[in-house]
């Protein structure tokens, strides 16, 4: 088990165009089932390959709560523990299935000041060989300074 | 489907806009550390504000907070595992007066989630007891998509704490499509 970072980015270090460090998630059946059950989503499509395939999917696939969880983690792994996420808005595309790693990438699209907070808009994308799994925007804040 | 039937279906769908998507729901458990730990391990999210009380106290959160993306997790219905596949994955026998059964009966049996928009008004802390309400926000006109003809159904879930203060919202949009109409002209 790794321990998380305890330092956070300083808002003055963040500029429009900054790339977030890419993150590759090796998607396995275990990753999918662990996320589904931790989010209390018992839909068979997220743990039962035969059920998912009978519904026309290529395999069991990741549930949306888990996708949102990884998007959140991707952004706070970059910004640090002082980061507060305001919104995660994603368009859903290709399914995340076992054997197809997901690559998370992101870029700072906009920054502004609001009271004692820096508001950062990050354009995010999680993609695999099938195409874009999720694309959208995460708004996150950091204390000014 | 004849134009008249399409118009009739559209009118029946429109009647659901502004109405609840499902009954109000109460989280079976308050926000709690064991479920946070389960999530942290499942997603390998090592942000210390989720489990390290001593560290979290030094941050602007002032103490442990739940991962924000867990918002929906707290209110997920308790499942009845037996027969869940036969119910198409529904956690329990649910009779909801919403547009989905109407679309299913009209042949739009396919479901594809297209958008999720989570907003967090505040981070949750252990002890927060959530409940929610839902509302159908909009239903599109019939569209021709790569999966066939269908309707986009959008609803918003509002999450509240024990004092009825809104803590977050989720907009969710699905496409209900008729797989037999793939390639049909608009």
Q: What is the pLDDT of residue A4?
A: 79
Closest Cα to residue B136, out of B116, B156, B164? B156
Nearest-angstrom CA–CA distance, A61 and A67: 10
Domain contains B65:
no
Q: Which helix (H) or strand (E) holds A120?
A: strand A117-128
Rounded to 10 deg, the angle between the B33-43 and A64-79 helix axes is 80
Query: For residue B20, what is the domain's CATH number?
Result: 3.10.129.10
Percent of chain B with pLDDT strictly greater than 70: 97
Nearest-angstrom CA–CA distance, B46 and B39: 10
Domain contains B48:
no
Report CB contact under 8 Å: A68, B84. Answer: no
Domain contains B150:
yes
Domain contains B161:
yes
> Nearest Cβ partner of A4 from B46, B70, B117?
B46
Q: How many domains does chain B have?
A: 1
Tell me the pLDDT tens digit for each residue of B22-78. Answer: 999 999 999 999 999 999 999 999 999 999 999 999 999 999 999 999 999 999 999
- For residue A20, pLDDT beyond 90: yes
- On the CB side of B129, CA atoms within 13 Å amount to 6
- For residue A2, pLDDT beyond 70: no
Domain contains B137:
yes
More confident residue, A25 or B110: A25
> Nearest Cβ partner of B46 from A3, A37, A89?
A3
Nearest-angstrom CA–CA distance, A26 and A72: 17
> Nearest Cβ partner of A70 from B43, B115, B118?
B43
- For residue B186, pLDDT beyond 60: no
Coil, strand or helix: which one is B84?
coil
Question: In sequence order, what are the residues at sequence separation of 6 or more whose Cβ sits closer than 8 angstroms to the Cβ of residue A87?
Answer: A137, A138, A139, B117, B118, B119, B120
Q: What would the mean pLDDT of A94-100 be, rounded to a whole number? A: 97
- C-alpha distance across the termini of chain B, in Å: 12
A119 — contact with chain B (CB < 8 Å)?
A: no
Q: What is the pLDDT of residue A1?
A: 46
Domain contains B46:
no
Task: Provide the whole-model pTM.
Answer: 0.95
* C-alpha A108: how far from chain center: 15
CATH number of A11-143: 3.10.129.10
B29 — contact with chain A (CB < 8 Å)?
A: no
Structural contact between residues B84 and B140, judged by C-beta atoms closer than 8 angstroms: no
Of A53-57, A101-105, B43-47, the poorest mean pLDDT is in A53-57
Q: What would the mean pLDDT of A35-64 be, rounded to a whole number? A: 95
Residue B54 in tokens: 């001593």
Q: What is the pLDDT of residue B92?
A: 80
Secondary structure (H, E, C), B154-176: EEEEEEECCCCCEEEEEEEEEEE
Structural contact between residues B64 and B33, judged by C-beta atoms closer than 8 angstroms: yes
Domain contains B56:
no
Between the CA of residue B134 and those of A21, A68, B119, B121, B129, what are the distances in Å? 37, 20, 15, 17, 17
Q: What is the DSSP letter of A79?
A: H
- For residue A8, pLDDT beyond 70: yes
Domain residue limits at B119:
3-28+97-181
Residues of chain A numbered 17-76 and touching chain B (CB < 8 Å): 34-35, 37-45, 48, 51, 56, 64-66, 68-73, 76
Report residue B109: phi and psi, to 5°. Answer: -85, -15
């Amino acid at each position: 088990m790794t321990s998380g970072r305890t330092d956070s980015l300083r808002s003055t270090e963040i500029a429009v165009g900054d790339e977030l460090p890419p993150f590759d998630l090796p998607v396995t059946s275990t990753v999918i089932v662990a996320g589904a059950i931790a989010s209390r989503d018992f839909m068979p499509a997220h743990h039962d390959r035969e059920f998912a395939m009978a519904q026309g999917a290529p395999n069991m696939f990741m549930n949306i709560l888990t996708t949102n969880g990884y998007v959140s983690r991707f952004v706070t792994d970059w910004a640090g523990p002082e980061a507060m996420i305001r919104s995660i808005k994603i368009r859903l595309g290709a399914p995340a299935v076992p054997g197809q790693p997901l690559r998370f990438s992101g870029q700072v699209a906009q920054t502004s000041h609001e009271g004692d907070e820096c508001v950062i808009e990050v354009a995010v994308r999680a993609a695999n060989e099938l195409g874009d799994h999720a694309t959208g925007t995460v708004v996150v804040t950091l204390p000014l300074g | 489907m004849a134009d008249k039937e399409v118009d009739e279906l559209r009118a029946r769908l429109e009647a659901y806009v502004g109405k609840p998507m499902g009954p109000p729901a109460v989280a079976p458990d308050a926000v709690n550390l064991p479920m946070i730990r389960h999530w942290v391990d499942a997603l390998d999210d090592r942000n210390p504000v989720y489990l390290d009380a001593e560290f979290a106290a030094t941050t602007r959160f002032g103490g442990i907070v739940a991962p924000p993306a867990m918002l929906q997790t707290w209110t997920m219905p308790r499942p009845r595992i037996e027969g869940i596949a036969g119910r198409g994955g529904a956690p329990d026998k649910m009779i909801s007066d919403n547009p989905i059964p109407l679309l299913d009966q009209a042949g739009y049996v396919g479901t594809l989630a297209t958008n999720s928009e989570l907003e967090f008004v505040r981070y949750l802390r252990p002890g927060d007891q959530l409940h929610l309400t839902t509302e159908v926000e909009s239903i599109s006109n019939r569209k021709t998509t790569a999966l066939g003809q269908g309707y986009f159904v959008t609803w918003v879930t509002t999450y509240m704490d024990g004092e009825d203060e809104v803590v977050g919202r989720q907009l969710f949009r699905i496409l209900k499509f008729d797989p037999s109409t793939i390639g049909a002209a608009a």
